[in-house]
Amino acid sequence: MARTATLSLLLFLVFATPAYPQASKLNRAVRTAENLEPSIPLLEQARETERKLAELRRTTGKRPNIVWIIVDDMGYGDPGCYGGGKAVGADTPVMDRLAREGLRLTSCYSQHTCTPTRSAILTGRLPVRTGLIRPILAGDTLTVNPWDGETSVAKILGDAGYYSLLTGKWHIGEGEGMRPHEVGFDEYYGYLPAQKEITQALDTRRYPDLTLDADKLERYESIGAEHALIHGFSMGDTKTVSTVKSLEEMGAADEQLIDFSVKRITELAKGEKPFFLEHCFMKVHTDNFANPKYKGLSASKYAYKDSLCEVDLLIGRLVKALDDAGVLENTFVFVTSDNGPQMDAWPDAGHTPFRGAKGTTWEGGVRVPGIAYWKGMILPGRVSDGVFDLMDLFNTAVHLAGADAELPREVYIDGIDQTAFLLHDEGESNRECVFFWWKSELTALRMREYKWHQKVLLPQSTFMHIDMAVLQDVGTAPWLFNLYIDPKEELPVGHRRNAWLASLGAEAKAHLMTFKKYPPKKVGL
């Protein structure tokens, strides 16, 4: 099987006629299909990885389980293995251990906010293509179902014989036809909106003008936003498990969600099917409220830090459940965050050592922790600065499921299969470029160690990257930073100390050309 896959790749490389020319001489990537993002061909790396996977299948008799763990708004600098942890008053021993025993990515990228990221990893497509360019908020009216014409990774894996389950936060549409179990997941147990959207009608201290004004509160509640824990099945009913009626209940929600995921792992591990679990924490998205069991858990004692320590503890329970069920050696686990920290909510916010934060396409908004863990398959202690986009999880999961032939052909796929990068003992990234969009504006790209900006988000006050920021054109020339010598993106080097300014501009133009045949959708956001 590995030999056949490699031969197919070689034939693609030899006979494929790219629809778009290579943008610049700096680019090592090759386009193997008109609708697929170009990737760097590392053939020996791919061959060795396929042999490794084939041997595991012979041992286990089935495809691997896939578990994604998505923390909400966790900053790059929060986990100890990324420079945070005890140093910032919130120890994260579980994430640190997974990083030591797996692969720690130092150039892992999300979208600038949560809905765009969550949709991107499930579709392998940039939010500007799907129309999910910002969070869907209470009161928004969508003109079309954003999931029309989209194929989720859960649908592809389900067709390949997997059982798929999403637990926790969704935030990619609350209406009928938009919920997880209606777009490909077999089962969903969680909350459709973000944590803040649930608690603000209950929190008199933060939102007195809402909670203490009967007229406003009634009008707000008439919007019909879902504040309930729901349980739904693709072939059955959707039922309300409970409705959040207090801040204490919201504080304890993540533990209840982990209880459910642990229970389902135990049950699914006994079945014949491999499973795909996406566990999405409600925390550490503002507004954070303590789980009564873990109040004061962190050295900091602040609500955000307590929540981060709780999330770390609960990740440990999830991994232990896989081990106890006897499936840890046949499960690919990936831990990440959906974007950088929401600094507008400080001190109820995380930390990043980079410029910017959630809501921007500066490194602080889009560079996130990325920990790949697979006992016996990923060499412990690996650290890589190879570029990885969270959309690559889509293609990687599809490949692990043996379902590459089921990738959608009628839409453009921005993700890249990074299986070999993650699993090879000396794996290198197959991705050449990451493109950053702010809503419907192409703002920046990263290629190798270079970051190129044609538009920037500039805060007008400390930490105000969302509530008080301005999108601005850069001026005479794009701003080009060398992230190896200037990771905080403080001084452009384009014309003065860099030879690639025009090449990166050509990459941006080539990327925009893909929208001519594959135009973006408009869904009313």
What average pLDDT does the segment 340-345 reach? 97
Domain boundary among 409, 428, 447: 428
Residues 388 and 453 in one domain: no
Same domain, 328 and 451: no
Check whether residue 409 and residue 473 sit in a common domain.
no
Tell me, yes or no, whether 274 and 333 share the same domain.
yes
Q: What is the dihedral of CA 72, 75, 77, 81, to 10 degrees?
A: 20
Check whether 32 has a pLDDT greater than 90: yes
Selection from 16, 38, 17 nearest residue 28 by Cα: 38
Residues 212 and 152 in one domain: yes
Q: Are residues 249 and 285 in the same domain?
A: yes
Helical ranges in 173-246 per DSSP H: 195-199, 208-211, 214-222
**Has residue 29 been placed in a domain?**
no
- Report yes or no on 32 lying in a domain: no
- Report the alpha-carbon distance of residue 238 to residue 433 in Å, rounded: 41
pLDDT exceeds 90 at position 19: no
Of 401, 428, 455, the one marking the end of a domain is 428
Which residues are CB-neighbours of 473 under 8 A, at least 6 positions away? 454, 455
Do 150 and 222 lie in one domain? The reply is: yes
- Predicted TM-score (pTM) of the model is 0.94
Kindly report, residue by residue over 247-265, the tens digit of the pLDDT.
999 999 999 999 999 999 9
> Rounded distance, CA 87 to CA 82, Å?
10
CATH number of the domain within which 474 lies:
3.30.1120.10
Tokens 């039922």, residue located: 239
Looking at residue 20, what is its pLDDT?
A: 65
Would you say residue 14 lies in a domain? no
Residue 33 lies in a domain: no
Residue 9 has pLDDT above 80, yes or no: no
Does 302 lie in the same domain as 218? yes
- Looking at the fold, whether 259 and 322 belong to one and the same domain comes out as yes
Question: pLDDT by residue (tens digit) across 205-247?
Answer: 999 999 999 999 999 988 877 889 999 999 888 999 999 999 9
Q: Total structural domains in the chain?
A: 2
- Alpha helices, H only, 184-302: 195-199, 208-211, 214-222, 247-251, 253-268
Mean pLDDT of 317-344: 98
Q: Count the residues in the chain.
A: 525
DSSP 8-state assignment for residue 452: E
- CATH code, 118: 3.40.720.10
In a domain, 524, yes or no: no
90 in a domain, yes or no? yes
Same domain, 497 and 399: no
Cis peptide before 474 (omega within 30 of 0): no
- Give yes or no: residues 59 and 148 share one domain: yes
Name the residue range of residue 157's domain. 45-428
Q: For residue 360, is it within any domain?
A: yes
Domain-located, residue 251: yes
Domain final residue pick, 402, 428, 454: 428
Do both 300 and 385 map to the same domain? yes
pLDDT digits (tens, 9 = 90+) for 251-301: 999 999 999 999 999 999 999 999 999 999 999 999 999 999 999 999 999
